Amino acid sequence: MTLVPCTVIVGAFWGDEGKGKIISYLALKDKLDFCVRTGSVNAAHTVWAEGNRYALHMVPAAFINPKCRLLVAAGANVHVAKFLEEVEVTKVHNRIGVDQNASIIEEKHSVEDKASAVNKGIGTTGWGVGPALEERVRRTAKLAKDIPELKPYITDGVAEVNDGLDNGKKVLLEGTQGFMLSLFYGTYPYVTGRDTGASAIASEAGVGPTRVDEVLIVYKSFITRVGAGPLPGEITKEEAQRRGWFETAAGTGRDRRSAPFDFDLAKKTAKINGATQAAVTKLDSMFPTCRGARKLDALPAEAKNFVKEVEARAGVPVVLIGTGPDALDIIDLRK
Ligand code: IMP
Ligand code: MG
């Protein structure tokens, strides 16, 4: 079985769960026809393909399948320079589109973000996403269709995706960040400027709730958080290094704080997002002998038990297990 027509990918915790890796796997394995990037430039999705590492802030993570049509959602905020730079690096000029109604994030938003005492206290990424969204709410933000450099890419992405679904095309809606950074459901005020949940991802892409077939929630085997705000069970940097969990942010290079997997939180986020499937990433960070495994039988009993416990306690079937950085380092349990 491969993906049914429309799947939403949502992060379970505070972002950096490995959504980019899961999406790049599905792009290749399930031959995705469309991938729609929501959110903005604050979120970096890491994709490893054929020994190259990409940290994508604007281009959808499914770009590694050369047949996939790539779209930036109407609800997204486009950083024009970053978009053009990534289009160049990934060579997707001929198959990427920006929805005409996506709004624009500008340098002034970043300046405001970095200067604001409130945003400093939250520890934002400094890209200016909050101020850019404020402008959109005030109805003074520029839209993608007004930007000459974007002209070759402007499209009606909402029509493309919905027509694609009418024709049975496989569509993936790429969420960014994690549910606990949601403006509505996260650890307010230590959150980002938008709702990061599955319903919001569909809304940003212009896909109605009844058209979504699967919600795939992505759990990392341990939890990380960048910036300020609560992180239950947090361990020290030294302890994280000892356990092999210590990470730095793909986008900003900041240290990521870390904590062990939280089964109760996993259950809660699965429920609120209506998750129908789950992925567990970075199992090799918890159990180094799992590295690169592509079959369940190759896992030690303790790793299998961990995955079983996630499934039982979150109440969602685990269908994909990440065992290494490459797009294809996956155990795929879908029948
Ligand atoms: P902002 O989204 O830049 O406004 O930052 C608000 C909070 O969300 C800060 O704690 C950031 O570190 C966090 N954040 C924003 N984007 C990401 C992401 O992609 N991964 C992890 N944390 C993020
Ligand atoms: Mg990230």
Type of residue found at 7: T
Q: Per the confidence metrics, is the pTM higher than 0.85?
A: yes
Q: Tens of pLDDT along the chain (335 residues)?
A: 445 799 999 999 999 999 999 999 999 999 999 999 999 999 999 999 889 999 999 999 999 999 999 999 999 999 999 999 999 999 999 999 999 999 999 999 999 999 999 999 999 999 999 999 999 999 999 999 999 999 999 999 999 999 999 999 999 999 999 999 999 999 999 999 999 999 999 999 999 999 999 999 999 999 999 999 999 999 999 999 999 999 998 778 899 999 999 999 999 999 999 999 999 999 999 999 999 999 999 999 999 999 999 999 999 999 999 999 999 999 999 98
φ, ψ for residue 298, nearest 5 deg: -75, -10
Structure tokens at 249: 């942010």
In short, whether 281's Cβ falls inside 6 Å of ligand 1 is no
Whole-angstrom distance, CA of residue 187 vs CA of residue 195 = 12
Residue found by looking up tokens 């230590």 in the block: 190
CB atoms within 10 A of CB 244: 14
* Predicted pLDDT of residue 3: 52
- Cα separation of the two ends of the chain: 5
CA distance 169 to 167: 6
**Options 30, 33, 45, 109, the catalytic residue:** 45
CA torsion angle for 82, 88, 91, 94 (degrees, to 10)? 80
- For the question of residue 146 being annotated catalytic, the response is no
Pocket test for ligand 1, best of 133, 177, 196 (most atoms within 8 A of CB): 177
Any ligand 1 atom below 6 A from CB of 124: yes
Ligand 1 neighbour 125 (Cβ under 6 A): yes
H-helix or E-strand spanning residue 134? helix 129-138
